[in-house]
Amino acid sequence: MIIGIPKQPILGCPQSSCLCNPVGTIRAQWLEFLRYLPRRYMGTVTLIRVKVTVPMYTHVKRFILLIALLASGGCATFQKADVPPVAATPPECVILLHGLMRTPNSLGEMEDSLAAAGYLVVNDGYPSRDAQIDVLAAAAIPPAIEKCRDQGAGRINFVTHSLGGILLRYYLSTDEIAGLGRVVMLGPPNQGSELVDKLSSVPGFILLYGPAVLQLGTDEASVPLQLGAADYEVGIIVGQSAGPLSGLLPGEDDGTVTVESARLDGMTDFLVMDAGHTFVMNNNDVVRQTLFFLDNGRFDKGADN
């Protein structure tokens, strides 16, 4: 007697939605069963192509399983548990703000290092010699924030040099930044600069540096002294390397800003490093510490600086 073998799965289902059986389809199950179909009731059984000795209960089990499989429609269905998709974490952005009489090029090495670490970076310039601090802050910061948002950034961090840190402090005293992350200030005159006090009366000083420089002293016109404490995560790095004008400054300094003048109430961490004011942002150890603070909210005090 010839037993027909279905060419298609009986009541089968797409493999994309269920598992049909250990060999895949009902047709395969028929083949599997017929291979072991006995021609004699017990003992040595002759299979369709091979001859082996198989206990009868093995055939019974296979037959029962086949009947159950056919009764269930030809496959066992396994449903995936509903697992909510994991939302991708938005990238972080770092806005760079250069100092007085500088350009975005001065922060080029910092920009490259931040980008290599996976940050989105906005390094645009502003006319530091053309206006006072309030005007400069409005010109530099909102457009940079918008560029971060346009790139899909989540948190927005800042790395500033000198005057750039004062612009950020001024802006945050009047405006909020949604998603503000961490801030690293390099050589900021947070308590004003004694150097400005002593040089502001020198002919050509204001013409050379612009109107914002007069707001960076320690007198009643000092903008840094009018700003409040930090209520955000901020790490401050100041150099300790004497320069040509260090003789005009009290205590340790980076050639332009004293170590004490760089401090800020509410700051998260503070680090003095062997670097000068003008090129502090290009110091490899300063770059590394900047990245460490952005990642960890503190400086790596255990490292050799």
- Band of residue 198 on the pLDDT scale cut at 50, 70, 90: very high
Query: Which residue among 80, 102, 124 closes a domain?
Result: 80
| Residue 187 CA to its chain's centroid (Å) | 25
Residues 51, 144: one domain?
no
Residues 137, 283: one domain?
yes
Percent of the chain with pLDDT over 90: 66
* Within a domain: 231: yes
Residues 276, 201: one domain?
yes
- Do 276 and 243 touch, CB atoms closer than 8 A? yes
Query: Which residue among 80, 103, 127 closes a domain?
Result: 80
Per-residue pLDDT tens digits for 278-290: 999 999 999 999 9
- Band of residue 88 on the pLDDT scale cut at 50, 70, 90: confident
- Do 120 and 93 touch, CB atoms closer than 8 A? yes
Q: Which domain holds residue 54?
A: 9-80
Residues 215, 282: one domain?
yes
Residue type, 75: C
State residue 242's pLDDT score.
82
Residues 50, 145: one domain?
no
* Within a domain: 2: no
Give the Cα separation of 303 and 47 in Å (integer). Answer: 76
Residues 224, 264: one domain?
yes
Q: Which residue has the tokens 């800042």?
A: 158
State residue 218's pLDDT score.
95
Helix (H, G, I), strand (E, B) or coil at 196: helix
Residues 23, 118: one domain?
no
- Do 276 and 200 touch, CB atoms closer than 8 A? no
Query: Which residue among 57, 80, 103 closes a domain?
Result: 80
Q: Pick the more confident residue, 83 or 56.
A: 83
State residue 67's pLDDT score.
52
State residue 87's pLDDT score.
61
Residues 23, 159: one domain?
no
Residues 68, 104: one domain?
no
* Within a domain: 23: yes
pTM, entire model: 0.72
Return the bridge partners of 160, or none.
Answer: 97, 185
Q: What is the CATH number of the domain that holds 283?
A: 3.40.50.1820
Residues 67, 103: one domain?
no
Residues 67, 115: one domain?
no
* Within a domain: 242: yes
Q: What is the mean pLDDT of residues 31-59?
A: 43
State residue 245's pLDDT score.
87
* Within a domain: 137: yes
Res. 267: pLDDT tops 50: yes
The domain tally of the chain equals 2
Q: Where are the alpha helices (DSSP H) in 107-229?
A: 108-116, 133-150, 163-174, 194-199, 205-209
Residue type, 266: G
State residue 50's pLDDT score.
38
* Within a domain: 13: yes
* Within a domain: 3: no
* Within a domain: 86: no
Q: What is the mean pLDDT of residues 197-212?
A: 94
- Band of residue 302 on the pLDDT scale cut at 50, 70, 90: confident
State residue 6's pLDDT score.
43
Distances (CA, A) of 255 to 97, 187, 237: 20, 10, 14
Res. 164: pLDDT tops 90: yes
Res. 55: pLDDT tops 80: no
Res. 38: pLDDT tops 50: no
Res. 7: pLDDT tops 70: no
* Residue 161: DSSP 8-state: E
- Do 235 and 182 touch, CB atoms closer than 8 A? yes
State residue 258's pLDDT score.
96
Q: What average pLDDT is seen over the chain?
A: 82
Per-residue pLDDT tens digits for 222-246: 999 999 999 999 999 999 988 888 8
Give the Cα separation of 79 and 147 in Å (integer). Answer: 44
State residue 36's pLDDT score.
47
Residues 54, 153: one domain?
no
